[in-house]
Structure 1
Amino acid sequence: MDRTETAFEEFVAEMADMVTLLRDGRLVLVTGETGCGKSALVNRCADWVVQQMTERGTGCEVLDLTAALNGLPEDSIDNRMSAVCDQLFVELTRRQLMRADAVTALEPHREVPRRVYPHLPEATPRPTVLVILLPTCELADEVIRYASLARGRILFFIESPFMQANDVRHIVESMERWGSPITLSVGELEEGDVRRFASDRLKRHAEKGEYPKMTEDTMESLTGLSTSVSELQRVFHGVYEELLGSNDWPAEVSFEDVVKFRFRRVSRGQGIDHEP
């Protein structure tokens, strides 16, 4: 859905035999509107890398720093990168992914990206690929700076709901002499996505007992009503939760049930995007 399968295939093709990752490091930038599946794609790609490395007998660790800037005020690129670098040092130390001598050497520079990232490949007790999930980014220059810090066995992932095609083009052109980053994009729901989503969710719960199925007309109508996976998830979850809490358990979920659910949420001032 949302071009995520195509994007995943592009990622696998770009990574090829992992030679570039192991020798030079890589950065992956995933762009697309909010709620269209960027995080799901990043997690799938990261899991694939872990599996590939495991099969090769190489260590691989995923470090999720996506929340490293939560609660911090809007700040400069330097301060953002310093805060993330410090959190990375904390995670590496907590999980004992650095040798004791490396911890001692890097401790004074734990907030200085250019003094930490280049030394990480040699800091691990054994050859280990570090998959680093970075916070959401809106500035091309920040992505470029992270890409320039990549070293062998370091794989950065960055999501951005803000960047347009010209921003991505600028990043790729700026990084040509170092090696282009992998750029993936996901978009709004396409024809057939709602039906695939509904069929998958209903099939997953087939063994749980009897519950209302969704009519063909409802799935067809939802195609034009929901524009992202997250919105579709909220609508499905909300409609079924409301039906579950009612005394009138229908045989099928109609499009009218969906419309009534959306109307009630708007009437309560929660809006369509409010989590049920």
Structure 2
Amino acid sequence: MLNPFQLPDRSRADGRPLCPWETPEHADLYVAVDHSQDEFLKYQNELETDSDFRKSGKLVLITGPEGCGKTSLMHRCAWQTREDLLLHHSEIRTEIIDLTADGLVGLDSQARSRHICHRIHDELHIRRVFEQDKNYDEIEKRSDEPAQFYPYLSRLLLNAELVVVVLLPPSELVDEVRTYGTYVQKMIAFFSESSYDSVAAIESNLASKPMIHLTLGVLDETDGWAFVNSRLSRATTQSIPCPTTDEATVLRFMQTRIRGRGQTTIRELQMTCESVFEAAIKSTSSLVEYGDFTQYYAEKAWLA
């Protein structure tokens, strides 16, 4: 038997979120829990309304509590950006620069901004996106001055017919996100995420380029079965043998978990199901029951 919650191109140890622009199979693994699908459709609509990066860039802020799927949604929106450009502006290339894992906690806003400029330069240089070496030298000269770096980079990208999508590290700094609104240029899209309420509240105060604000939250009782059923149905469709469970079991687990902790998230649900179903496979059990969930939390000392 196989684990229906094991993600393609992922091990249980790495715990990375879905990333369809890197692993195409992930595009079909998103499940409409919480209101994540509505937020994705909101971004799709923004692309349909304003898809020409030669006229303007974008700043997208995704906010919500820890573990609610912000980075996963960010990757999905980056993927959709590339797909949309391929469909409507096929002459334009797309480079996605993933800096979400860059740890910048403790640095001030200016130091973080300079770090991002240097990282963008390095990634573009490594990928050899420009034909002339002098272009890399020119943007490197400006890497310590973001206000000069991005306008110059924008001109190079326009000439190269290249859109750069930058996935920024999580931010707890209001000023940092606000500043990226001033950095937005043609052919450049910034995606930022934050778990901080103060950052989520800055939208009405952003006196720069319009910002697309997507919000995520925690799961309700019915989201559990929607997620589990989606994974089990996918396994059935692909004739993948795996343990199963039923709606009543998952609903009872979700009710107990939410009542005990006050909330649960998609990240926790994914980790729990992957571990519980893996234990069932190891014990050659074809049915996952409520006791299997409680046993998992008892062993992890997370019992509510």
TM-score by length of 1: 0.87
Q: 1:235 aligns with which of 265, 272, 286?
A: 272
C-alpha deviation, 1:147, in angstroms: 1.1
Quote the residue 1:157 is aligned against. 191
Cα distance in 1, alignment partners of residues 95 and 295 from structure 2: 46
Q: Secondary structure at the match of 1:41?
A: helix
Where in structure 2 are the equivalents of 1:42-53 lying within 5 Å? 42-53=74-85
Cα distance in 1, alignment partners of residues 105 and 212 from structure 2: 29
Structure 2 CA distance for partners of 1:73 and 1:185, relative to 1, 3 Å = closer
Is residue 63–residue 91 contact of structure 1 (8 Å, CA) maintained in 2? yes
C-alpha deviation, 1:210, in angstroms: 3.9
C-alpha deviation, 1:191, in angstroms: 4.3
Amino acid at match of 1:202: L
Q: Secondary structure at the match of 2:186?
A: coil
Cα distance in 2, alignment partners of residues 211 and 52 from structure 1: 36
- Larger mean Cα displacement after TM superposition, 210-219 or 46-55: 210-219
Quote the residue 2:173 is aligned against. 139
- Larger mean Cα displacement after TM superposition, 183-192 or 29-38: 183-192
Quote the residue 1:223 is aligned against. 254
C-alpha deviation, 1:45, in angstroms: 0.9
C-alpha deviation, 1:208, in angstroms: 5.2
Cα distance in 2, alignment partners of residues 169 and 212 from structure 1: 43
Is residue 82–residue 111 contact of structure 1 (8 Å, CA) maintained in 2? yes
C-alpha deviation, 1:18, in angstroms: 2.6
Cα distance in 2, alignment partners of residues 211 and 170 from structure 1: 46
Amino acid at match of 1:257: D
Is residue 182–residue 209 contact of structure 2 (8 Å, CA) maintained in 1? no
Cα distance in 1, alignment partners of residues 149 and 120 from structure 2: 10
User: Cα deviations across residues 101-134 of structure 1 (Å, max 9, x unaligned)?
Assistant: 2212222222321221111122236211111100
Where in structure 2 are the equivalents of 1:197-276 lying within 5 Å? 197-206=227-236, 207=238, 209-224=240-255, 225=257, 227-246=264-283, 249-266=284-301, 271=302
Q: Secondary structure at the match of 1:24?
A: coil
Quote the residue 1:66 is aligned against. 100
Percentage of pairs with the same residue: 27
Cα distance in 2, alignment partners of residues 47 and 174 from structure 1: 26
Q: 2:147 aligns with which of 104, 114, 127?
A: 114
Structure 2: gaps (5+ residues): 1-32, 259-263
Q: 1:168 aligns with which of 200, 225, 229?
A: 200
Is residue 136–residue 158 contact of structure 1 (8 Å, CA) maintained in 2? yes
Quote the residue 1:148 is aligned against. 182
Amino acid at match of 2:250: M
Is residue 276–residue 292 contact of structure 2 (8 Å, CA) maintained in 1? yes
Say how many residue pairs are matched.
260
- Larger mean Cα displacement after TM superposition, 98-107 or 48-57: 98-107
Report whether the alignment pairs 1:101 with 2:134: yes
Q: Secondary structure at the match of 1:22?
A: coil
Amino acid at match of 2:230: D
Cα distance in 2, alignment partners of residues 115 and 127 from structure 1: 20
Structure 2 CA distance for partners of 1:237 and 1:159, relative to 1, 3 Å = same
Structure 2 CA distance for partners of 1:210 and 1:152, relative to 1, 3 Å = closer
Q: Secondary structure at the match of 2:54?
A: helix
Is residue 218–residue 254 contact of structure 1 (8 Å, CA) maintained in 2? yes
Structure 1: gaps (5+ residues): none
Q: Secondary structure at the match of 1:157?
A: strand
Cα distance in 2, alignment partners of residues 44 and 73 from structure 1: 25
TM-score by length of 2: 0.79
User: Cα deviations across residues 236-267 of structure 1 (Å, max 9, x unaligned)?
Assistant: 11112222222xx334211111101110121x
Is residue 172–residue 181 contact of structure 1 (8 Å, CA) maintained in 2? no
Structure 2 CA distance for partners of 1:215 and 1:174, relative to 1, 3 Å = closer
Is residue 143–residue 171 contact of structure 1 (8 Å, CA) maintained in 2? no
Q: 1:34 aligns with which of 49, 63, 66?
A: 66
